[in-house]
Structure 1
Amino acid sequence: LEEQFGMPYVDIAPLGVVETARCIRKIQEIVNGQGANVDYEEYIDNQTLYVSQAAWFSRSIDCQNLTGKKAVVFGDNTHAAAMTKILAREMGIHVVLAGTYCKYDADWFKEQVSEYCDEILISDDNGAIGDAIARIEPSAIFGTQMERHVGKRLNIPCGVIAAPIHIQNFPIGYRPFMGYEGTNQIADLVYNSFTLGMEDHLLEIFGGHDTKEVITKGISADSDLNWSKDAKAELNKVPGFVRGKVKRNTEKFARERGFSEITLEVMYAAKEAVGA
C-alpha cells in the first residue's frame, strides 16, 4: 500500500504497556504528518494509570517475587516477540530462550528479541523446541498448544500465547490480548502460569486437604531449634491446619543449612526455596 499508493502504515503490535504506547504515538505521528493536530499523551497516561493494571502489578511484591525466574517463549513471530519484551522489559523475568516457527521472519524476530533473551531458536521442528525446553528446565513456558504438551510431560507450567491453540483458550467473555485492557490479561496469564506451577511444591511444604492436624495447634515446644519472637509471631499467622507442616519444613530447611535459630529471614528463605 505504501509503495503503490503512498499510504502510511503502522507495524507496531500493541501488546504490552510499552508497545501499546509506541503504537499510539506512531499513529499520532502519521495523522499529524497528514495535517491533523492531535496529542494522545493524556489518553496514554489515563489508560496506563486507570485501565491497565500491568504497570502497578509490575511494582507489586507478587510480581517482584518472579524477578529472575527463568522462562522460555515460543510461538508465531508477533506474539513471541511481544511476550519476550513484556517478560524481560516490563516484568523483570529472565527469558532464557525466545523462538518462533516463522522462518520467513527470522531476521525481524532476531532484531526484536536479541537484547531481551539469552538464546534464540528459529525452527518449525516440535522436537527441537521440546529438547531445548528439557535442556533449560525453565520455571514457566509461554508458547503454543504444542509447548503446553511438552510442559505437561516435563511438569512445567505453560501459558498459551499463540496458535496452534486449543478451544479452551478462546473464552466467551471479553478478554482481549492487545491494547491496555489486554495488558491485564497478559499479566494474569504470566502470574498464574508461574504460581500455579508452584502448586506441587507448595503442597509439599504446606500439606494438602487430608491433614489431620488440629486447627488450633500452635508452636510446639519440643524442638531443638530456637525461634525468634518475630518468627514465632509470623508462624502464628499461618492457618492452623498447615502450621505444623510449615514449622517442620522450615526447621528441616534450617538444619540442612546449619542454622541454630529460626528468624524471619530463615522463614522467608525456606519459603523462597519452595518456588526456586
Structure 2
Amino acid sequence: MKLAYWMYAGPAHIGTLRIASSFKNVHGIMHAPLGDDYFNVMRSMLERERDFTPVTASIVDRNVLARGSQEKVVDNITRKDAEEHPDLIVLTPTCTSSILQEDLQNFVDRAQEASVADVLLADVNHYRFNEMQAADRTLEQIVQYYIAKARKKGDLPEGKTAKPSVNIIGISTLAFHSHHDCTELKRLMADLGIEINEIIPEGASVLNLKNLPKAWFNLVPYRELGLMTARYLEKEFGTPYVDITPMGVVETARCIRKIQQVINAQGANVDYENFINEQTLHVSQAAWFSRSIDCQNLTGKKAVVFGDNTHAAAMTKILAREMGIQVVLAGTYCKYDADWFREQVSEYCDEILISDDNGAIGDAIARLEPSAIFGTQMERHVGKRLDIPCGVIAAPIHIQNFPIGYKPFLGYEGTNQVVDLVYNSFTLGMEDHLLEIFGGHDTKEVITKGISADSDLGWSRDGLAELNKIPGFVRGKVKRNTEKFARERGIGEITAEVLYAAKEAVGA
C-alpha cells in the first residue's frame, strides 16, 4: 500500500456531490463521518457561491456504529425534504458506508415513502471509481431516472425542435473554467444559429430533463463528464453527439465542421466555412500570433504537458501543431481512459506518461528540464521547486483558477486566453533575473531537496553558498545537473568541490 499525499482526482462521493449541487433545487445527502463534509467548504470558497451549498452530511458517529444508521439517514432525508422542498434528494455512499456494508437502497426506499421529493441513491462503487468517473455515472443515472419517469407518465415530448438545437452536457461546479467556457459555447452556438435546448447539470432543473431528446445533437466539451449521458441519449433516442473539444484554432474549426455535418444530415442546410475563416482571422489572435516574431522565438522550446484527458490532449496539439513548440512529454492522470489519450497525442509529443503518481511526473519534469510546464496546480508546485514556469490548464486547481474576470479556454475567445497563457509561461522568470542584476530584492534561497519523496541528496553549507552565486536564470539547471552527477557517483552530500567537478564534467 502506498500513502497518497496528493491526489489528482478526489473520491467518488465528491463527483456525485458535484453533480447534485450543480443542478437547481437538488439536495445531496452524504453518509460519512464528521470531517468528510469538506465539500461544502470547498465549493462555497472556490465557486464564491452566495447561497449555502445544498449538501447535508448524515454523520456516522459512535452511536451509529453501535446501533446502525438506518433511522438517522431516513430522518435526515425526510427532514431536508420538509425544510428545503427540493425536486430531488441524492444520497451518496462513501468509503465509510461501503465498509459498514449498509443497505442504503433500503434507506432510500423507506425515505421515499415519507418524502414529496424524488429520492435517489447514487449507484457508484467507491472502491472502483474516482471523482470524475462517479460524476459521469451520477449524471447519466439522474438523466435515465427522469427520462424513465416521464415515459411512465406519458409525459415524454416527441419530435425535435423546429430549429437546430443542442444540449451542452458536462458543465458543472468545481470544474476548470467551466462557467466561462459555457458562456463562450452559448455565444458560439448563437453565432451558428443553433438554439440551446438544455445545459446540464449546471443550473438545470431535473424536471426539464425529459426535454433532452428534443435537441438535434448533444455537445460534450469535456471527455471526463457527459460522455455516458450522450451515449445513453444516442442509444435511446438516436441523438448524435459531438465530443470534439473546441480548444485551439484547429480543434474549434474541426468541432464546428462536425456540428455542420451532424445538423445537415438532419435536414438543415448550413455552411460555416466563412464563419470559421472570419473568426480565425479577425476574432482569434492565435493565428496571427503564431506568425509573429514573439511566437517564432518560442519555436523549438521544450514543454511538458500534464492534466486530465481533455485539456492535456488539447494543449499538446496547440503547442505542437499551432505554435511550433516541442512537447517532450504529454501525460494524463486519467488512467481509465488511457487508450484514447495515447491515440490523440502520440504524433504530437516525444514521450507519453499515464500515471496518477505526482512523484512520477515530478521526476520526469526534473529529468527532461523543459522550458515551461502546462499542468495542474501540482505541476505548478513542481515547477516552483525547479525554477520552471508553469501554466495551469486543468484540475486539481487553486482559487486563482476560479477567476471573476472572463477567461474561457474554449471557442475563439478561448484561443486568445491560451496564447496569453503559453507566451507568459515561457517568458515568466525573466523579471527575476533582471531584478537580480539591477537589485530590488534579496537573492532567492535555492531549494535543494529532490522532487521525489525518497530523495536522499543533501547540500553542504559551502555547496549552497556556491550555488547561490550562480545567476537565477540558470541556477535551477546547474542544481539539477549537479544532483544528477552526484547520484551517478553515489555521492550523498553535495559540497562546493562536487559542484565544481560537476561543472567540469559537462564542460561548463
Q: Please classify the TM superposition score into its range, dividing by the shorter chain length.
A: 0.7 to 0.9
Residue 237 of structure 2 corresponds to residue 5 of structure 1: yes
Equivalent residue for 1:25?
257
Residue 342 of structure 2 corresponds to residue 110 of structure 1: yes
| Whole-Å separation in 2 of the counterparts to 1:199 and 1:89 | 29
Equivalent residue for 1:76?
308
Residue 351 of structure 2 corresponds to residue 119 of structure 1: yes
8 Å contact 1:140–1:197 — kept in the other structure?
no
Query: Which of the pair is proportionally richer in helix?
Result: 1
Larger radius of gyration: 2
SS at match of 2:267: coil
SS at match of 2:421: helix
| Whole-Å separation in 1 of the counterparts to 2:430 and 2:343 | 33
SS at match of 2:407: coil
8 Å contact 1:141–1:157 — kept in the other structure?
yes
Q: Which moved more, 1:168-177 or 1:110-119?
A: 168-177
Q: Deviations over 1:66-86 (max 9, x none)?
A: 000000000000000000000
| Whole-Å separation in 1 of the counterparts to 2:359 and 2:351 | 17
Corresponding pairs, count: 208
| Whole-Å separation in 2 of the counterparts to 1:154 and 1:27 | 43
| Whole-Å separation in 1 of the counterparts to 2:358 and 2:406 | 31
Q: How does 1:229-240 map to 2 (within 5 A)?
A: none
Shift of 1:174: 1.2
SS at match of 1:95: strand
Q: Which runs of 5+ in 2 are unaligned?
A: 1-232, 441-508
Q: Deviations over 1:173-208 (max 9, x none)?
A: 11111000000000000000000133344556xx32
Amino acid at match of 2:289: F
Task: Name segments (4+ residues, structure 1) moved above 6 Å.
Answer: none
Match of 2:399 among 167, 177, 181: 167
Residue 374 of structure 2 corresponds to residue 142 of structure 1: yes
| Whole-Å separation in 1 of the counterparts to 2:439 and 2:278 | 44
Identity %, equivalent residues: 88
Q: Deviations over 1:7-58 (max 9, x none)?
A: 1010100000000000000000000000000011111111111110000000
Amino acid at match of 2:438: G
| Whole-Å separation in 1 of the counterparts to 2:295 and 2:345 | 22
| Whole-Å separation in 2 of the counterparts to 1:197 and 1:112 | 31
SS at match of 2:438: coil
Q: Deviations over 1:107-135 (max 9, x none)?
A: 00000000000000000001000010010
Q: How does 1:185-196 map to 2 (within 5 A)?
A: 185-196=417-428
Equivalent residue for 1:254?
none
SS at match of 2:373: strand
- Backbone CA RMSD of aligned residues: 1.1
Q: How does 1:194-233 map to 2 (within 5 A)?
A: 194-203=426-435, 207-209=437-439
Match of 2:283 among 31, 51, 54: 51
Equivalent residue for 2:322?
90
| Whole-Å separation in 2 of the counterparts to 1:86 and 1:11 | 17
| Whole-Å separation in 2 of the counterparts to 1:168 and 1:200 | 21
| Whole-Å separation in 2 of the counterparts to 1:197 and 1:124 | 28
| Whole-Å separation in 1 of the counterparts to 2:424 and 2:307 | 19
Equivalent residue for 2:142?
none
| Whole-Å separation in 2 of the counterparts to 1:5 and 1:167 | 40
| Whole-Å separation in 1 of the counterparts to 2:399 and 2:243 | 28
Shift of 1:171: 1.4
Residue 409 of structure 2 corresponds to residue 177 of structure 1: yes
| Whole-Å separation in 1 of the counterparts to 2:391 and 2:366 | 17
| Whole-Å separation in 1 of the counterparts to 2:439 and 2:366 | 32
Of structures 1 and 2, the one with the larger relative CO (CA 8 A, separation 6+) is: 1
8 Å contact 1:10–1:26 — kept in the other structure?
yes
Equivalent residue for 2:272?
40
